[in-house]
């Protein structure tokens, strides 16, 4: 059941202040008011709608990165926002977007590729509302009131693979994907390529928590723990996850095994509360969803949204990269930078499929 709330937005910090999400079937609402204003949305202050991916607010990863960008934009421009989460099977995604549009929110941001299956029909019904979708192409939809916010996840994941291979003491690492989809396979492909660039003989375990079409793999820490546990028991000493809220289980498995893990999307060293879990997070592959969301809202406010096109955030733009919290990869920064430069200069082409 949806609940809306209004609150003053404090400074942007995507830290442990966000509590772990309740069930994915919950719908949460939020609001903010401020003294800023803008004209791009046709009102003095924007009223922003955000429809979460599976796991919702509090996943300390993908969704919370979107929240951080949203709150930064409201801090800057004033206005208010409301966020909604899908039900357990995600069957109400179109309803969430429709609800936000009916209530006059504009712009509306859909968080996650799963909305790509329904957003085309919704944007057609609301031609005067501006929409954005993360991780799905607007160009393929062809609607001039929709913008796609895309990322070169394979490039950031390549650097995660480099870090894993340089730090592995066993020559054996792992990858845990939340759901076996083309998007998450981009993470896998980049990670494998990066690890093999450092050590062509490295052993890389790869496993997905749930198959394509079953999005429960993004919000099942217990299953993430079991998958990662099997990898650590098999000899891997570093496991990279691209599994949303299920990544918590990967960190727990790493802590129990006295091994390491690599986080995703947000700087997860900063988002976990437990020092024992912090201690195992070697680095995180940063996917700057916060930057994409705040920049899109900025463009809406100043009236510069083009619509009908995709904006791609890659390594050159710092749309993806690696966190350095904890100092665990400080000693390999020169090597990581060498690979980063080769990717940006076009000397290395990172694969996007396994």
Q: How does pLDDT run across 330-340, given as a tens digit for each residue? A: 999 999 999 99
**β-strands 281-287, 320-322 pairing:** antiparallel
DSSP three-state, residue 17: coil
32-54 pLDDT per residue, tens: 333 233 334 444 689 999 999 88
> Under 8 Å CB-to-CB from 29, ≥6 apart: which residues?
2, 3, 4, 5, 82, 83, 84
Answer left, alpha or beta for residue 82, where phi above 0 means left and psi between -120 and 50 means alpha. Answer: beta
What is the value of pTM for the model shown? 0.82
Q: Cα separation of 341 and 354, whole Å? A: 23
- How many CA atoms within 13 Å lie on the side-chain side of 289? 31
231-252 pLDDT per residue, tens: 999 999 999 999 999 999 999 9
> Does 19 or 221 have the greater pLDDT score?
221
Distance of CA 45 to the CA centre of its chain: 27
Residue 277: band (very low, low, confident or very high) from pLDDT cuts 50, 70, 90: very high
Q: At residue 1, does pLDDT exceed 80? A: no
Task: Please return the burial class of 310, using the count of CB atoms within 10 Å of its CB with bins 0-12, 13-18 and 19+.
Answer: middle
Beta strands in the chain (DSSP E): 47-51, 80-84, 108-111, 131-134, 146-151, 172-179, 203-210, 238-242, 260-265, 281-287, 310-313, 320-322
85-144 pLDDT per residue, tens: 999 888 999 999 999 999 999 999 999 999 999 999 999 999 999 999 999 999 999 999
Q: Cα separation of 54 and 178, whole Å? A: 11
Is the peptide bond between 239 and the residue preceding it cis, with omega within 30 degrees of 0?
no
Q: How many CB atoms lie within 10 A of CB 329?
A: 23
């Amino acid at each position: 059941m949806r609940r809306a709330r209004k609150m003053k937005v404090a400074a942007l910090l995507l830290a442990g202040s966000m509590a772990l999400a309740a069930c994915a079937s919950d719908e949460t609402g939020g609001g903010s008011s401020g003294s800023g204003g803008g004209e791009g949305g046709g009102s003095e202050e924007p009223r922003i709608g955000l429809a979460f991916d599976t796991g919702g607010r509090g996943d300390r990863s993908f969704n919370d990165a979107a929240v951080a960008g949203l709150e930064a934009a409201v801090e800057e421009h004033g206005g208010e926002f409301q966020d909604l989460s899908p039900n357990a099977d995600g069957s109400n995604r179109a309803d969430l977007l429709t609800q936000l549009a009916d209530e006059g929110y504009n712009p509306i941001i859909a968080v996650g590729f799963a909305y790509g299956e329904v957003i085309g029909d919704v944007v057609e019904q609301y031609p005067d509302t501006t929409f954005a979708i993360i991780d799905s192409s607007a160009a393929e939809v062809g609607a001039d009131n929709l913008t796609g916010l895309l990322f070169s996840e394979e490039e950031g994941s390549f650097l995660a693979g480099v870090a894993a291979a340089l730090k592995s003491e066993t020559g054996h690492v792992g990858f845990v994907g939340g759901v076996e989809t083309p998007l998450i396979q981009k993470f896998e492909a980049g990670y494998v390529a990066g690890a093999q660039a450092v050590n062509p003989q490295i052993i890389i375990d790869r496993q997905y928590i749930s198959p394509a079409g079953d999005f429960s793999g993004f919000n099942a820490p217990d299953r993430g723990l079991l998958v990662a546990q099997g990898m650590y028991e098999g000899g891997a000493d570093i496991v990279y996850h691209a599994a949303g809220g299920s990544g918590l289980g990967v960190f727990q498995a790493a802590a129990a095994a006295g091994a390491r893990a690599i986080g995703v999307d947000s700087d997860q060293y900063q988002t976990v509360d437990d020092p024992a879990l912090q201690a195992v997070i070697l680095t995180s592959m940063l996917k700057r969803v916060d930057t994409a969301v705040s920049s899109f809202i900025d463009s809406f406010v100043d009236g510069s949204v083009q619509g009908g096109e995709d904006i791609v955030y890659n390594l050159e733009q710092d749309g993806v990269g690696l966190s350095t919290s904890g100092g665990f990869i400080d000693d390999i920064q020169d090597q990581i930078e060498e690979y980063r430069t080769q990717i940006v200069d076009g000397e290395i082409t990172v694969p996007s499929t396994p």
